[in-house]
Structure 1
């Protein structure tokens, strides 16, 4: 049902955008041709636009059932062969990106696995901020740096085109590094609590090799990440538009974007349908694998084993990063972000202009500081809305699962075009577009954690003692799920800030000379070789935001339970009176190592 609604919405896009489809198609075919009434009438007659969107959609669906996706409104070529070829390119690129992401995840979690398997975590909660900064970097910026430095200046690998295995190395790195950093942070967030569970402590006490403990800990945590991995796979296929544009890769994301901008409905509908089918298949495989892994071997402990308290050095890091970000904003606010100085174009950083100037001679420090006010404010609001929506819908996996998979298959730019068609263009259009898709990974994460928590023996025992569903939800499930999901939401805050400004750059919201951070990166990207500071300083502030978000998320932990009299050191107990289905009162006691 969600997939059918999406395809129908795509079919109505030209009419929702309040533009003449004939005019858009005519301009896409030939920009020099005058849109005379006769030329527009000929296009409408050729494409059957006068019959209306429902008739066009019905004819396309009927032809699709016979293996014919129609012909492109712009080029006149058959759609299905070009879409299949583009999908093959995107899947190949996705495979390379997944390989890079897996290597990145291994690098991020290696230290935690080594320490945890040898019971050396102590009071330190592992996980540095380097992965957070890497996760905050925009993919198109990583792609631009790789293409200009490694591809052009050093000439080690091809910087343009799609000619063989060498052509996929740089774009795979650009896509896989940020995705792997996010997944690595999510896995690294679960591992400390897993190593503190009774089965891990008992295994270490009995002399089980550390490598075996580490493997079982990974098997314990992976089911909660598999649905998000499925979302990343689909996102790497359809959402790699910017990377495909930079490296001139004929993938499905670029094909779909160009069709959306040209309102080439047959190509747009076919590309979107291919992404939706990929999302459905990937989501089904991820759920099946998670169900197979969530077996008896994983039911020895609970997800909500408390992370060890962060030492004072870890508590200082959020204050340090916050102070640096506040200092940048405070120093730049008194400056004029719109003042032009043609004589100071692309000036290097100096005492008077610490961040240098852009191509129009504007002070980059002033533009970064003023852009923080709107970018961060809207990003925080969208993140909060996505968190609430994701948690609520994640509690209903049968309802939210298919919807999340379908929405995740839509590239963010196409989602922005759909929201613009429905709500119109305005300052809040990017926020609505990003909020419409930002809840999907959080809902998927919530559902996966709930499924894994329900497989624990303590929950089964509590239910057997007469606990009601409301008691289990409020006292057991939500306390186990909310902290990691909130940390996940904070980890995605820099990406949301970037997506907001990127949609504004496409004409769907704020326009130049607005100093939004995404606009700063996009505007100065062509000058990255001549004036790298114009790109590096906005990217550094965005990475600083990512480090601040992740270190602040480290303080989101469960409250400690009262220590039960007579319990061993490091062990606490909980006593709760629960009401059973027969109206009696029962007592559920369990001890857990925090």
Structure 2
């Protein structure tokens, strides 16, 4: 991989993203003057004279490139423009929202570290994995789902903590838990999976024989584990940025995420530009800090060579667990598909579960089971299309690692929610826009996997022999390299299908994906929040379905890894199987 190519691609992608943010008034497909006129006075007629006056006032008559130049010049002066809705300066609103979000994310990060420490401690004591499946389950739960359940149980039913606002430390507890628990599960799982293999290394046995205390060995093992995992920790911190949008929305926290989402829905494009730019810079800064911490942990001796971890021990999951989860979900979805999801019966609105409506009804008297089943069909279908597109992009970029690395850095700094806000501002909310948003950032893991396999296959002795006997590059590519790379990456993409479905559900929950009356799971959860105190079953049904989907993603992935680890050795290298991958 050439650093120059990766750096050029990284800079180019960053310029493209910033330019897209600057051109939002023109990319939205709407007349910016009409949007401003309606924001200022909804009753005023959009006459030609009125629209021309707005264009002159905002400088829109100069065209998109001139507007981009003015916006970029304002950025250099620290001026983010004026809100189209309130008429106030954008910069103070962005700074205020960023302060709230940074405070929330700081507390959430502390929760994540404490939870990760609790998950890792048994591994250090016993020297083997403990609770890896539980940690993986926590990591797979979406923040918006955990926030909704926490609000319902701790805020509404038990009344322990406030459910909205930002008046004091008590308002921070539930949002910080909703953000920190999934991040803590991810961090704990990464460290706990890597530690047992490190504790089996030769130096640990020598230290024990020399009488070194368990505490010193544990500290050294952690120092050995952390540097290769720091980039993953950085991505988890970036995930907090995206999760904050949903959590701030659920608990009405006036952070930068909620500000960006509100600006997107009201078409207040200057405020949206400033908010998204702040979130983008926050993600890039997090990645830069992670790279700096990794360099400091490695030290000058290993800074260039890096430090690889031994293979992690696979988490063992019995085949019955994913099969049971899949059966429950499939039966529920199949049952719901037999019912009408759009039939309205106002006489039965908010009805409790019964024989007629096994999961109750919503505010319009529509059957929740029917909407759950039909919503799964559309969500999984869209996720499958996104998964296929990500697979194709990942395979293509796997042969161009220099270009892929730079683009992946920018994609990893943009959570799905942030990209969803941008796409919704440009094309309007909808299933297609949500699919595009998730597809734009779901390819980097597949591209990295493909690049590693391409490098391995190209270095194999078999391909050297093929070149020696005169095989053409096209023959080698189509008959050996591509088949050896495509199959493992396709399995990898399939394992990411539930995660993509959850990302689409999160955008639907925020109003950026499927629109009413579509029966989409995230949208169902969002619609039920308005009457969660009167009819909690309407919120619990999609919440439990999403939780089962997350559990299926985790248990299916761990069982697949275990099965792959336990398969017999690959067949001898031959014409159709050039290398065991």
TM-score relative to the length of structure 1: 0.77
Contact 2:351 2:365 survives alignment (8 Å): yes
CA RMSD of aligned residues (A): 4.6
Q: Distance in 2 between matches of 1:309 and 1:157?
A: 36
Indicate how the Cα distance of structure 1 residues 356 and 292 shifts in structure 2: closer, same or farther if over 3 A, else same. same
- Whether 1:291 and 2:295 are equivalent positions in the alignment is yes
- SS of the residue corresponding to residue 347 of structure 1 reads coil
- What's 2:561 paired with? 556
Worse overlay, 396-405 or 96-105? 396-405
Contact 1:272 1:410 survives alignment (8 Å): no
Q: Give the deviation of 1:434 after TM superposition.
A: 0.8
Worse overlay, 83-92 or 69-78? 69-78
Q: Distance in 2 between matches of 1:66 and 1:529?
A: 49
- What's 1:15 paired with? 26
Q: Distance in 2 between matches of 1:42 and 1:138?
A: 46
- What's 2:284 paired with? 280
Contact 1:106 1:184 survives alignment (8 Å): yes
Q: Give the deviation of 1:55 after TM superposition.
A: 0.9
Q: Give the deviation of 1:239 after TM superposition.
A: 4.7
- What's 2:114 paired with? 103
1:182 aligns with one of 183, 186, 195: 186
Structure 1 unmatched ranges of 5 or more? 471-478, 564-574, 577-594
Q: Give the deviation of 1:231 after TM superposition.
A: 2.6
2:362 aligns with one of 334, 358, 362: 358
More helix by share: 2
Contact 1:132 1:546 survives alignment (8 Å): no
Contact 1:387 1:489 survives alignment (8 Å): no
- What's 2:313 paired with? 307
- What's 1:224 paired with? 228
Contact 1:70 1:79 survives alignment (8 Å): yes
Q: Distance in 2 between matches of 1:80 and 1:531?
A: 41
Q: Give the deviation of 1:160 after TM superposition.
A: 2.6
2:68 aligns with one of 36, 57, 63: 57
Indicate how the Cα distance of structure 1 residues 300 and 149 shifts in structure 2: closer, same or farther if over 3 A, else same. closer
Q: Give the deviation of 1:202 after TM superposition.
A: 5.5
- Whether 1:321 and 2:325 are equivalent positions in the alignment is yes
Q: Distance in 1 between matches of 2:279 and 2:289?
A: 15
- SS of the residue corresponding to residue 428 of structure 1 reads helix
Indicate how the Cα distance of structure 1 residues 537 and 202 shifts in structure 2: closer, same or farther if over 3 A, else same. farther
- What's 1:249 paired with? 253
Worse overlay, 196-205 or 26-35? 196-205
- What's 2:102 paired with? 91
TM-score relative to the length of structure 2: 0.78
Question: Equivalences for 1:473-512 in 2 at 5 Å?
Answer: 490=495, 493-504=497-508, 510-512=514-516
Contact 1:134 1:543 survives alignment (8 Å): no
Aligned residues: 546
Q: Distance in 2 between matches of 1:325 and 1:177?
A: 25
- What's 1:240 paired with? 244
Contact 1:356 1:533 survives alignment (8 Å): yes
Worse overlay, 262-271 or 324-333? 262-271
Indicate how the Cα distance of structure 1 residues 151 and 28 shifts in structure 2: closer, same or farther if over 3 A, else same. farther
Q: Give the deviation of 1:156 after TM superposition.
A: 4.0
Indicate how the Cα distance of structure 1 residues 73 and 368 shifts in structure 2: closer, same or farther if over 3 A, else same. closer
- SS of the residue corresponding to residue 314 of structure 1 reads coil
Indicate how the Cα distance of structure 1 residues 484 and 105 shifts in structure 2: closer, same or farther if over 3 A, else same. farther
Indicate how the Cα distance of structure 1 residues 545 and 262 shifts in structure 2: closer, same or farther if over 3 A, else same. closer
Indicate how the Cα distance of structure 1 residues 42 and 232 shifts in structure 2: closer, same or farther if over 3 A, else same. farther
Contact 2:21 2:277 survives alignment (8 Å): no
Q: Give the deviation of 1:435 after TM superposition.
A: 1.0
Indicate how the Cα distance of structure 1 residues 20 and 276 shifts in structure 2: closer, same or farther if over 3 A, else same. same
